[in-house]
Amino acid sequence: MPSYSFRRASSALLFFSPIVSFICAPLDAREPVRARHAMVVASQPAEQVGLEVLRKGGNAIDAAIAVGFALNWAYPFAGALGGGGFMTIRLADGTSTFIDFREEAPAKASKAMYLDANGNPTRESLTGWKSSGVPGTVRGFEMAQRKYGKLKWAEDLAPAIAMASKGFPAPYALAESLRNARSVSANAESKRVFQRDGAFYEQGDIVTFPDLARTLTRIAENGADEFYLGETARTLAAAMEANGGLITLDDLKNYKAVERTPLTGKYRNYTVITAPPPSAGGLGILQMLAMLEGTGYEKGGFGSASALHYEAEVMRRFYADRNQYLGDPDFVKNPIAGLLDPAYIAARRGSIDPAHATPSSAVGPGKPAGAESSETTHFDVVDEQGNAVSVTFTLNGGYGNGITVPGLGFLLNNEMDDFTSKPGVPNLFGLVQGEANTIAPGKRPVSSMAPTIVLRDGKLFAVLGGPGGSRIPSAILQAFLAVVDFGMSPQDAVDAPRIHHQWLPDRITMERGISPDTLDLLKARGHDVRYEAGPVTAEVEMIVIDGGWLQGAGDPRRSGAAAGY
């Protein structure tokens, strides 16, 4: 539960004073959860599992792993034994690292595997057994735990196993989401496990996941080898073979998590540590911040048409580069240095017209040096020692491809759709991508996920990230700017309505909290602007460390919750 809101109370009092009312926060402003020592932000009730592990003496890495395993029952929409993701870590000693446990294309995958006889994309990258890449989560968690955790592996898994077998009262959001999950209803095993064969869970019903608890228990006893070589691997590979899927025992055996150097960049007196390729999201955050720096974009105030105009223009320019240049770094050369080079950024910034939208047809990818022609969830942990972990992982679409391997109790990803099935044709997130991200055996698809850690004057300042496909980098950007350029509390920054532009389609979409007036002002600058069809863009979960407090902000768009001590 959020802590008592002093600001809300004081705002209510000040509201009646004409003299000071202009300085009071809006009445709906919310306070972050505050704590002195440690903080976890995750989809509820998984944040409680993280807190339990911290209180038992685990560090931030232990807590992150506990939360990650717990999300398989707390948030099966994305919680991702059958998927993959990224973890950004900054240790209290000042070193930082990045663990890439992104899914990989199986050995039988091929460049044109999702094209029909006429060369048009089929839906097989999204639905059915062929849509899954080799899951990476368990190997990634194992790597992080062995190298950086403090407790025993089995201790990190224990609370997730206990909750999956004992059960917990379904939060409203979980019950509703499971009831409405059509891809889950379409698969007999998923329907049995997640929808009680049609006797849907109601809010408050006790939900148990006994198959998942057994799978997690074997993983706790036998380590990640259980998932990649053991009974779990054999069951998964046999089900793939029986159903025309591609993943074999060899694919599982060969999967490796990769430790990479995070991308790092500067914005004012902040250092941003974020995800390198195969994520495009980290590059995006650094490029967009660098393009904004020094423009004075913030002068019109938070949510003003002039600020949103600049934000949309830097988004447009980043996404054009993203779609052209990025691919798995083990397969293609990513011109990262060129894309972040100050002269290149200055030229991109210089092409922004302060008063008019630049049509995307006139933008296109830039020419950085070194270029060759050629449903997700996020959580953050900070512990008492100052170790910080930011994790985003996913099954891609909500509930992945909706398939549960019989007896294993977890859903499979449809991450293969993040590859370019056909250059120039939009994927699930409308991204129109190029050759660098085409399918090859063992290759990892480009991701937008960008778990990020920020330092201020060299000291830990923020841990943030979020789900939302292509909208992840733009959402993280806006939440961060809301805190550092517009002085908002982390909770208000997370709650505030956001916009999104991704080059193609050439359009700004905005959440409904932004006024029709602002929409009209952006139209007058030449933007095609529309309100989101759905209620939200992407979510952001954030911890800010300021004034001796850890301030946790969960995103209400998807039942994010913060807890600390």
Query: Any idea which residues carry the catalytic annotation?
Result: 376
Residue 486 token pair: 């517009």
Kindly tell me the burial class for residue 180, based on how many C-beta atoms sit within 10 Å of its own C-beta (0-12, 13-18, 19 or more). exposed
Residue with Cβ nearer ligand DON (375 or 555): 375
Q: Which of 396, 404, 474, 509 binds ligand DON (CB under 6 A)?
A: 396
Q: What is the Cα–Cα distance from 351 to 354, expressed in whole angstroms? A: 9
Residue nearest to ligand DON (CB): 376
To ligand DON, the closest distance from the beta carbon of 277 in angstroms equals 12
Integer Cα distance of 544 and 270 in angstroms: 13
Cβ closest to ligand DON, residue 155 vs residue 375: 375
Report in angstroms the alpha-carbon separations of 394 from 132, 234, 500: 12, 23, 21
Nearest approach, Cβ of 394 to ligand DON (angstroms)?
A: 5
Contacting range for ligand DON; rule: CB under 6 A; set: 160-168, 228-236, 358-366, 466-474: 466-474
Give min distance, CB of 399 to ligand DON, in A.
Answer: 11
Q: Considering the complex, state which of residue 125 and residue 248 has its C-beta at the smaller distance from ligand DON.
A: 125
- Nearer to ligand DON by Cβ, of 74 and 550: the residue is 74
Nearer to ligand DON, 449 or 462 (CB): 449
| SS3 per-residue string spanning 112-176 | CCCECCCCCECCCCCCCHHHCCECCHHHHHHHHHHHHCCCCHHHHHHHHHHHHHHCEECCHHHHH
390 counts as binding ligand DON under rule CB under 6 A: no
Tokens of 439: 């399918």
Q: Which is nearer to ligand DON, 2 or 556 (CB)?
A: 556
- Closest contact distance (angstroms) between CB of 407 and ligand DON is 26
Among 189, 375, 492, 495, binds ligand DON (CB under 6 A): 375
Pick one of 183, 232, 376, 478: the residue that binds ligand DON (CB under 6 A).
376
Torsion of CA 399, 405, 408, 412, to 10 degrees: -30
Binders of ligand DON in range 272-301 (CB under 6 A): none
What does DSSP assign to residue 447?
B
Question: Which sign does the torsion angle of CA 139, 330, 129, 448 carry?
Answer: positive
Q: Of 105-113, 129-137, 328-336, 467-475, which part binds ligand DON (CB under 6 A)?
A: 467-475
User: Could you tell me which residues come within 8 angstroms of residue 441 by beta carbon, excluding any fewer than 6 positions away?
Assistant: 105, 106, 107, 108, 109, 110
Type of residue numbered 459: K
Number of residues located near ligand DON, criterion CB under 6 A: 13
Q: How far is the CB of 390 from ligand DON (least distance, A)?
A: 15
List the interface residues with ligand DON, window 432-461 (CB under 6 A): 447-449
Determine contact, residues 86/447, Cβ cutoff 8 Å: yes
User: Any contact of residue 137 with ligand DON (CB under 6 A)?
Assistant: no
105 binds ligand DON, rule: CB under 6 A? no
Regarding 177 and contact with ligand DON (CB under 6 A), the answer is: no
Compute CA distances 270 → 156, 453, 544, 561, whole Å.
Answer: 32, 10, 13, 26
Rounded (10°) CA dihedral 165, 167, 173, 174: 30
Q: Does 185 bind ligand DON (CB under 6 A)?
A: no
The CB-of-3 to ligand DON minimum distance in angstroms stands at 28
Which residue of 334, 394, 401, 559 would you call a contact of ligand DON, by CB under 6 A?
Answer: 394
Rounded Cα–Cα distance for residues 195 and 178 (Å): 7
Does residue 431 bind ligand DON (CB under 6 A)? no
* E strand or H helix that includes residue 456: strand 452-456
Shortest distance (Å) from residue 448 CB to ligand DON: 4
Which distant-in-sequence residues (6+ apart) come within 8 Å of 547 by Cβ? none
Nearer to ligand DON, 215 or 396 (CB): 396
Among 140, 400, 434, 468, which residue sits at the site for ligand DON (rule: CB under 6 A)?
A: 468
Tokens representing 387 are: 């170790």
Q: Is 473 in the site for ligand DON (CB under 6 A)?
A: no
Q: Are 53 and 375 in contact (CB under 8 A)?
A: no
Closest approach of Cβ 136 to ligand DON, in Å? 12
* Residues in 330-369 that interact with ligand DON by CB under 6 A: none
Minimum CB distance to ligand DON, residue 179 (Å): 19
**Overall size of the chain counted in residues:** 565
* Binding pattern for the stretch 407-426 against ligand DON, x by CB under 6 A and - elsewhere: --------x--x--------
Residue 474 touches ligand DON, criterion: CB under 6 A:
no
Contact status, residue 359 vs residue 347, Cβ threshold 8 Å: no
**Interface positions with ligand DON (CB under 6 A):** 375-376, 394, 396, 415, 418, 447-449, 467-469, 472
